[in-house]
Amino acid sequence: MRVVRLTDTRAKRFKPSAREYSVQDKTVPSLSLRVYPTGTKAWTCKVDGRKVSLGRGDLMSVENARRACLRLQVDGIAPRRDLPTYWVFVEDVWRETWSTRCKPNTVREWDHILTRQLLPAFGSLRLDRITRKAIEDWFDAYSASAPGGANHALKLLRQSLNFAVERGLIDSNPAGSVLLNRRPKLTRFLSRDEIARLNAALDQHADGRFSVQADIIRLLLLTGCRRNEIVRLKRCEVDGSRLRLVDSKTGPRTVYLSPEARAIIERRMMIAPGAYLFPSPLNPEHPISDDLALWYRIRREIGIEDVRLHDLRHSYASQCVMAGVPLPVVSKLLGHSQCAMTLRYTHAADRDVEVAAERVGTQIAGLLQFG
């Protein structure tokens, strides 16, 4: 921890970093300025071994923070009975900060986590009564049935309590040190042989009651789109050889169609009765359910039960890379906002790596002989 004589000018100069840090005041050693990665700054005072928040750094001068710290050391820490419950904090304070800025899908997902998990577990507790043990007990119980869902819920709980810390409502985040469940890195993608077997299996279902699902699965492989981008595709988003998606995960984006993908889209444009290209058989005004039963049936038929539907997107990216498509172009094709995200999707099959190694080795050996 840095120790300096804090002034208002110096306090303004401290910049946020990837992790929060504190700067101790040389004049009043029990006073520190905590700087969060979000850029928020807060005064804290160490009293009886505890760190107590005094207020926002941009709303309280150094001199006022020193007076408050010294007064607290003399008077001691009074119990804080004005703190809201987690339920009140979420509904009246925290939710307003993101509900109007996040995408509708994100709002629905977070509201679902709050309603089903966080509010039932912690809603009745005052913010300062939410302990690490209570969080660990809830997290362990949830992890027993859904480790991935527990991770998502814990991250959201951390985010909400971090905001409570920044607002000076609590001194520290009790969820900050709770470890997430370790999850396997999923890098599965289809080999060329598996793609051929998948294509043959889809051909068998091109007609009949699974024809709509077969078209969806084939488009996912041909375009690298996300599931909902195809399942919820609307007629108005088709523009010749392009799809102009209004609301993808990263916002509006353009998907360029190969001749094979365009043929499927054009056929659906002639068949689909309403706004959606893949309508529900029960109500044409709604998209088909994204629980694609055909996918699970085909996986069993061709022996790829470890492949997820999202791995078709991995496979598309992998084929792009092996075809020599530059990474920035692959990133644009996938609709990623950053190339770093694309690296997680790009893989090469072992046989292709082996062939490349033999080719490069032969070329270098020829150079060595020439020398």
2-24: per-residue pLDDT in tens?
Answer: 889 999 999 889 998 888 889 99
131 and 68 fall within a common domain:
no
- At 133, give phi and psi (nearest 5°): -65, -40
Number of domains in the chain: 3
Which of 135-144, 218-227, 253-262, 336-345 has the largest mean confidence? 135-144
57 and 151 fall within a common domain:
no
CATH of the domain at 150: 1.10.150
Q: Mean pLDDT, to the nearest integer, of 224-232?
A: 89
* 180 located within any domain: no
49 and 17 fall within a common domain:
yes
| Stronger pLDDT, 249 or 285, i.e. the higher one | 285
Q: Among candidates 153, 294, 271, 283, which has minimal Cα distance to 210?
A: 294
218 and 241 fall within a common domain:
yes
Q: Please check the confidence at residue 313 and state whether its pLDDT lies above 90.
A: no
For the chain, what is the mean pLDDT?
Answer: 84
120 and 146 fall within a common domain:
yes
Residue that finishes a domain, picked among 15, 42, 75: 75
117 and 17 fall within a common domain:
no
154 and 228 fall within a common domain:
no
Q: Please check the confidence at residue 351 and state whether its pLDDT lies above 80.
A: no
210 and 295 fall within a common domain:
yes
Q: Please check the confidence at residue 272 and state whether its pLDDT lies above 80.
A: yes
* 270 located within any domain: yes
* 155 located within any domain: yes
Rounded CA separation 250/236 (Å): 19
The one-letter amino acid at 102: C
- In the chain, % of residues over pLDDT 90: 32
* 61 located within any domain: yes
Rounded CA separation 221/198 (Å): 10
What pLDDT is stored for residue 298 in this prediction? Answer: 92
| Residue 264 contacts residue 218 (beta carbons within 8 Å) | yes
- pLDDT band for position 340 (cuts 50, 70, 90): low
- In the chain, % of residues over pLDDT 70: 89
* 354 located within any domain: no
What pLDDT is stored for residue 215 in this prediction? Answer: 93
Using one digit for the tens of pLDDT, what is the confidence trace for 101-141?
887 878 889 999 999 999 999 999 999 899 999 999 999 99
Rounded CA separation 277/257 (Å): 15
Residue that finishes a domain, picked among 261, 291, 309: 309
156 and 209 fall within a common domain:
no
Lowest-confidence region among 116-120, 172-176, 271-275, 299-303: 271-275
Structural domain containing residue 203: 192-309
Name every residue whose Cβ is closer than 8 Å to that of residue 166 and which is 6 or more positions away in sequence.
36, 38, 40, 42
Q: Mean pLDDT, to the nearest integer, of 274-301?
A: 86
pTM: 0.56
Rounded CA separation 198/70 (Å): 72
67 and 20 fall within a common domain:
yes
Which of 48-57, 125-134, 345-354 has the largest mean confidence? 125-134
14 and 116 fall within a common domain:
no
CATH of the domain at 299: 1.10.443.10
CATH of the domain at 68: 3.30.160.390
What pLDDT is stored for residue 58 in this prediction? Answer: 79
What pLDDT is stored for residue 76 in this prediction? Answer: 66
| Stronger pLDDT, 135 or 207, i.e. the higher one | 135
Residue that finishes a domain, picked among 75, 103, 123: 75
145 and 200 fall within a common domain:
no
* 364 located within any domain: no
Q: Please check the confidence at residue 78 and state whether its pLDDT lies above 60.
A: no
Using one digit for the tens of pLDDT, what is the confidence trace for 147-204?
889 999 999 999 999 988 888 788 889 998 899 998 766 667 888 899 999 999 999 8
- Pull the structure tokens for residue 219: 């488009």
| Stronger pLDDT, 77 or 226, i.e. the higher one | 226
196-201, Cβ contacts within 8 angstroms, sequence gap of 24 or more: 197/302, 197/304, 198/298, 198/302, 198/304, 201/298, 201/301, 201/302
* 337 located within any domain: no
Rounded CA separation 134/127 (Å): 12
* 175 located within any domain: no
